[in-house]
Amino acid sequence: MDYLKHPVGTDRMPDLTWTIAADGIDVMQTAWQVQLSQSDDFSELIYDSKKVEGSESAHVRIDQVRLTSCTRYYVRVKVWASGEFDLAVQEQESGFCTPASFVTGLLNREWQGEFVSAETRADKSNSKGTFLRREFLIRPGIREAYICATALGLYHLYLNGEKVGQDQMAPGWTSYHHHLCYQTYDVTKQLCEGKNVIGAHVGAGWYKGMMGFVHERNNYGEQTALLLQLTVRYEDGSEQVLATDTDWIGCDSPVTFSEIYDGEYYDARLEQPGWNRTGFVPVMDDCFHRLTKEAYDALARDPLLIPFSDEEKKAQRRTAEAYVPKTTAWHPVETVQYSKEVLTAQPGCRVTIETEIPAVRLFMTPKGERVLDFGQNLTGWVRFTARQKPGQLLHLRCFETLDSQGNAYFDNLREAKAQVRYICAGYGEVCYQEQFSFQGFRYAKLEEWPEDAVCADFTACVVYSQMEETGHFSCSHPLVNQLEHNIEWGLRGNFLDIPTDCPQRDERMGWTGDAQIFCRTATFLRNTWPFFKKWLKDVACDQTPEGGVPHMVPDIMPFHVITDWLLGQGTHSAAAWADVAVINPWVLYLTYGDKEILRLQFDSMKKWIDFMKEHAVGEIWNYKLQFGDWVALDAEEGSYFGATPNDLTCTAYYAYSTGLFAKICRVLDKPALAQEYQALYERIVKTFQKTFLDEEGVMKVQTQTAHIVALYFGLIPERGVQKTTEGLKRLLEKENGHLVTGFVGTPYFCHALSRNGCVKEAYDLLLKEDFPSWLYQVKAGATTVWEHWDGLKPDGSMWSPDMNSFNHYAYGAIGEWMYRVIAGIEIDEEAPGYRHAILAPKTDSRLAWAAGSYDSVYGSVSVRWEEMDQRVTVTVCVPVNTTASLILEQGASDIQNGQQNVKEIVFTERKDGIKQAELGSGTWAVSYMRAQETAGM
Closest C-alpha to 880, from 97, 95, 57: 57
Please report the beta strands in 869-930, taking only residues with DSSP state E, as ranges in sequence order: 871-878, 883-887, 893-897, 908-909, 915-919, 922-929
**From CA 182, how far away is CA 176, in angstroms rounded?**
11
Q: Which of 114, 484, 501, 579 binds ligand BGC (CB under 6 A)?
A: 501
212 vs 250 by CB, closer to ligand BGC: 212
Q: Specify the stretch interacting with ligand BGC by CB under 6 A; choose among 13-21, 255-263, 505-513, 845-853.
A: 505-513
Closest distance between ligand BGC and the C-beta of residue 631, in Å? 8
Give the nearest residue (CB) to ligand BGC: 501
Closest distance between ligand BGC and the C-beta of residue 501, in Å? 4
Marked catalytic residue, from 84, 488, 507, 816? 507
* CA atoms within a 13 Å half-sphere pointing along the CA-CB vector of 493: 33
**From CA 819, how far away is CA 100, in angstroms rounded?**
31
Q: Does position 502 bind ligand BGC by CB under 6 A?
A: yes
684 vs 709 by CB, closer to ligand BGC: 709
554 vs 841 by CB, closer to ligand BGC: 554
Closest distance between ligand BGC and the C-beta of residue 570, in Å? 11
Helix (H) or strand (E) holding 667: helix 646-667
Marked catalytic residue, from 259, 787, 816, 867? 787
At 320, which amino acid appears?
Answer: A
Q: Which of 488, 507, 634, 816 binds ligand BGC (CB under 6 A)?
A: 507
Kindly state the DSSP code that residue 124 receives in the 8-state scheme.
G
256 vs 500 by CB, closer to ligand BGC: 500
Q: Specify the stretch interacting with ligand BGC by CB under 6 A; choose among 58-66, 186-194, 416-424, 499-507.
A: 499-507
330 vs 511 by CB, closer to ligand BGC: 511
**From CA 69, how far away is CA 574, in angstroms rounded?**
42
Closest distance between ligand BGC and the C-beta of residue 623, in Å? 15
Cα angle 473-474-477, degrees, rounded to a multiple of 5: 140
Closest distance between ligand BGC and the C-beta of residue 709, in Å? 17
228 vs 650 by CB, closer to ligand BGC: 650
**From CA 211, how far away is CA 560, in angstroms rounded?**
12
Q: Specify the stretch interacting with ligand BGC by CB under 6 A; choose among 468-476, 511-519, 715-723, 842-850.
A: 511-519
Closest distance between ligand BGC and the C-beta of residue 437, in Å? 19
Query: DSSP per residue over 567-591, as a string?
Result: GGG-SB--TTTTTHHHHHHHHHHHH
**From CA 579, how far away is CA 572, in angstroms rounded?**
11
Angle between helices 718-734 and 704-712 (to 10 degrees): 150
**From CA 155, how far away is CA 329, in angstroms rounded?**
20
Phi/psi at 757 (5° precision): 80, 10
**From CA 283, how far away is CA 528, in angstroms rounded?**
47
156 vs 572 by CB, closer to ligand BGC: 572
Residues 6 or more apart from 690 whose CB is under 8 A from it? none
99 vs 570 by CB, closer to ligand BGC: 570
Closest distance between ligand BGC and the C-beta of residue 628, in Å? 9
Q: Specify the stretch interacting with ligand BGC by CB under 6 A; choose among 142-150, 507-515, 668-676, 720-728.
A: 507-515
Q: Looking only at residues 654 through 683 of this chain, which bind ligand BGC when binding is defined by CB under 6 A?
A: none
Closest C-alpha to 865, from 822, 903, 897, 819: 822
**From CA 635, how far away is CA 115, in angstroms rounded?**
50
Q: Specify the stretch interacting with ligand BGC by CB under 6 A; choose among 510-518, 535-543, 669-677, 886-894.
A: 510-518
**From CA 616, how far away is CA 772, in angstroms rounded?**
35
Q: Specify the stretch interacting with ligand BGC by CB under 6 A; choose among 107-115, 509-517, 534-542, 841-849.
A: 509-517
**From CA 706, how far away is CA 684, in angstroms rounded?**
16
Closest distance between ligand BGC and the C-beta of residue 661, in Å? 23
507 vs 889 by CB, closer to ligand BGC: 507
Catalytic, 787? Answer yes
CA 203 to chain centroid, in Å, comes to: 23
**From CA 594, how far away is CA 606, in angstroms rounded?**
19
9 vs 513 by CB, closer to ligand BGC: 513
Q: Specify the stretch interacting with ligand BGC by CB under 6 A; choose among 77-85, 232-240, 346-354, 501-509.
A: 501-509
Q: Which of 144, 186, 497, 514 binds ligand BGC (CB under 6 A)?
A: 514
Q: Looking only at residues 619 through 658 of this chain, which bind ligand BGC when binding is defined by CB under 6 A?
A: 627, 630
**From CA 837, how far away is CA 715, in angstroms rounded?**
26
Q: Looking only at residues 767 through 826 of this chain, which bind ligand BGC when binding is defined by CB under 6 A?
A: 803, 808
Do 39 and 97 meet the contact criterion of CB atoms below 8 Å apart?
no
Q: Specify the stretch interacting with ligand BGC by CB under 6 A; choose among 15-23, 367-375, 508-516, 695-703.
A: 508-516
Closest distance between ligand BGC and the C-beta of residue 551, in Å? 6
Do 350 and 417 meet the contact criterion of CB atoms below 8 Å apart?
no
CA distances from 525 to 278, 488, 529, 734, 851 (A): 45, 7, 12, 34, 14
Closest distance between ligand BGC and the C-beta of residue 744, in Å? 11
**From CA 383, how far away is CA 433, in angstroms rounded?**
4
165 vs 642 by CB, closer to ligand BGC: 642
Closest distance between ligand BGC and the C-beta of residue 703, in Å? 18
**From CA 323, how far away is CA 314, in angstroms rounded?**
11
CB under 8 A, 24+ apart: contacts of 297-305: 299/324, 299/325, 302/391, 303/393, 304/391, 304/392, 304/393, 304/423, 305/391, 305/423
246 vs 569 by CB, closer to ligand BGC: 569
Q: Does position 400 bind ligand BGC by CB under 6 A?
A: no
Q: Specify the stretch interacting with ligand BGC by CB under 6 A; choose among 8-16, 18-26, 152-160, 506-514.
A: 506-514
**From CA 551, how far away is CA 559, in angstroms rounded?**
15
Q: Do β-strands 25-37 and 45-48 pair in parallel, antiparallel, or remain unpaired?
A: antiparallel
The CA dihedral of 906, 909, 913, 916, to the nearest 10 degrees, is -50
Do 584 and 534 meet the contact criterion of CB atoms below 8 Å apart?
no
Closest distance between ligand BGC and the C-beta of residue 566, in Å? 7
Q: Does position 892 bind ligand BGC by CB under 6 A?
A: no
501 vs 844 by CB, closer to ligand BGC: 501
Longest dimension (CA), the chain: 93
Phi/psi at 73 (5° precision): -120, 150
Closest distance between ligand BGC and the C-beta of residue 803, in Å? 6
Q: Which of 513, 772, 833, 859 binds ligand BGC (CB under 6 A)?
A: 513
Which residues contact ligand BGC (rule: CB under 6 A)? 501-502, 507, 511, 513-514, 627, 630, 803, 808
Q: Which residues are catalytic?
A: 507, 787
